């Protein structure tokens, strides 16, 4: 009977291909847009992701996300350092100076100032050219690969180029593979003391205090202790990551825009596939009636219809995911879209939605066949 069901399904090539490509289009649209959405949300917390040495971020109590900075005082740093359970606590600076290359090309950049002694905050395992230790040289900065390609689009990755950062000299001593930021600005790393020379002076300049929990205490517990003892906001890296993402989810139109596109894919897939599959069933009523006339049970016929729906869904899903994988393989090589990938969670979610689409598409067909009288086969 399964063979008969597949022969019926593929007998009308036009409707069969229409069903397959409807599901393929819907699955591509849902997986593509949901993966891009997840990638963009991850970008909002890119600087948090790249700091792997510290367990806890300490900041002003009113801070809502990583780009909203109210500087801390040196006294705040010493208060955090003095708490039991803190192995170390260091300064961390974030600013947006203007970088100007020798040819006059300029752009605002994300400048991250890391602790002078430990260099905590530099992506140690992601250096492409140069050494992290070279950051201790005078006027030294490390630039991310995307930033280097922006300023020197046709050049091979190399150190030695000089910039002006807010009219002060900076020399590239290393190139790193940093996570793509939300605003796609180039990312520069410098020692904390050096970074202060590149920005306008304020009374307080510590953007964050990065803390490492000592042995015998969890980062979550230590964060609560810092918060209760100092009155500052202390979050683990993961906690700060999710707080930043929640801010963008709540205060921007990004979720609505992507949600509408994903919903369109789901609705179009369900309506078009359901209608096409129902018409396909109506055109094959005599065949189903003949099967019932020779004694095939309703349960067996329901199984045949579900098999047809699942075959269409499986093939359409596979085509959609294949197209999606090709899309991300191409865009992954582009600087502007780096880091946007097809995530397995999105593939799983899309697969479940495809099952929903084909099940909805088959419900009306199943109902129509179940009330079908076998005598239909003997009518003119």
Q: Is the pLDDT of residue 298 over 80?
A: no
**Cα–Cα distance between 163 and 177 in angstroms, integer?**
19
pTM here is 0.81
Q: How far, rounded to the nearest angstrom, does the alpha carbon of residue 196 sit from its chain's CA centroid?
A: 32
| pLDDT, tens digit (0-9, with 9 covering 90-100), for 163-190 | 998 888 999 999 999 988 888 899 999 9
Tens digit of each residue's pLDDT (9 = 90 or more) over 201-259: 655 678 999 999 998 899 999 999 999 999 999 999 999 999 999 999 998 888 888 98
Residue 219: the pLDDT is: 95
Lowest mean pLDDT among 88-92, 141-145, 360-364, 372-376: 372-376
The pLDDT, as a whole number, for residue 10 is: 78
Sign of CA dihedral 241, 244, 246, 248: negative
Per-residue pLDDT at 203: 58
Q: What sign has the CA pseudo-torsion 364, 367, 373, 374?
A: positive
Residues 304-335 pLDDT 10s: 888 888 888 899 999 999 999 999 988 887 87
CB atoms within 10 A of CB 287: 15
- 114 bridge partner residues: 191
More confident residue, 137 or 358: 137
Mean pLDDT in residue range 115-132 = 89
User: Tokens for 6?
Assistant: 């597949």
Q: Residue 347: which H helix or E strand, with range? A: helix 344-370
Exposed / middle / buried, residue 330 (Cβ in 10 Å: 0-12, 13-18, 19+): exposed
Please report the pLDDT score of residue 11 as a whole number: 74
Cβ neighbours, 10 Å, residue 129: 17
């Amino acid at each position: 009977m399964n063979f008969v069901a597949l022969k019926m399904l593929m007998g009308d090539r036009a409707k069969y291909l229409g069903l397959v490509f409807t599901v393929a289009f819907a699955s591509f649209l849902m997986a593509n847009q949901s993966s891009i959405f997840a990638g963009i949300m991850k970008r909002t917390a890119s600087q948090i992701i790249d700091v792997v040495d510290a367990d806890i971020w300490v900041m002003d109590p009113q801070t809502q996300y990583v780009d909203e900075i109210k500087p801390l005082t040196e006294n705040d740093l010493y208060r955090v350092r003095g708490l039991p359970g803190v192995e170390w606590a260091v300064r961390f600076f974030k600013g947006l100076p203007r970088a100007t290359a020798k040819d006059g090309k300029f752009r605002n950049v994300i400048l991250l100032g890391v602790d002078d002694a430990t260099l905590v905050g530099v992506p140690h395992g992601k250096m492409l050219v140069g050494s992290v230790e070279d950051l201790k040289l005078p006027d030294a900065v490390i630039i991310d690969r995307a930033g280097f390609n922006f300023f020197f689009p046709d050049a091979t990755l190399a150190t030695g180029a000089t910039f002006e950062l807010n009219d002060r000299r900076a020399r590239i001593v290393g190139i790193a593979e940093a996570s793509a930021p939300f605003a796609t600005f180039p990312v520069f790393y410098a020692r904390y003391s050096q970074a202060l020379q590149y920005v306008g002076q304020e009374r307080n300049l510590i953007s964050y205090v990065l803390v490492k929990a000592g042995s015998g205490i969890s980062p979550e517990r230590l964060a609560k202790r810092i918060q209760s003892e100092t009155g500052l906001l202390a979050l683990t890296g993961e906690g700060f990551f999710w707080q930043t993402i929640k801010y963008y989810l709540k205060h921007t139109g990004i979720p609505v825009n992507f949600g509408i596109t994903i919903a369109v894919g789901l609705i179009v897939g369900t309506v078009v596939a359901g209608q096409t599959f129902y018409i396909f069933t109506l055109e094959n009523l005599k065949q189903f009636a003949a099967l019932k006339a020779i004694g095939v049970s309703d349960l067996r016929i329901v199984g045949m219809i579900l098999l047809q729906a699942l075959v269409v869904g499986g093939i359409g899903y596979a085509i959609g995911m294949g197209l999606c994988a090709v899309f991300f393989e191409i865009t992954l090589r582009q600087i502007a879209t780096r880091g946007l990938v097809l995530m397995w969670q999105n593939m799983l979610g899309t697969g479940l939605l495809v099952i929903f689409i084909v099940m909805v598409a088959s419900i009306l067909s199943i109902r129509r066949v179940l009330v079908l009288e076998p005598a239909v086969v003997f009518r003119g």
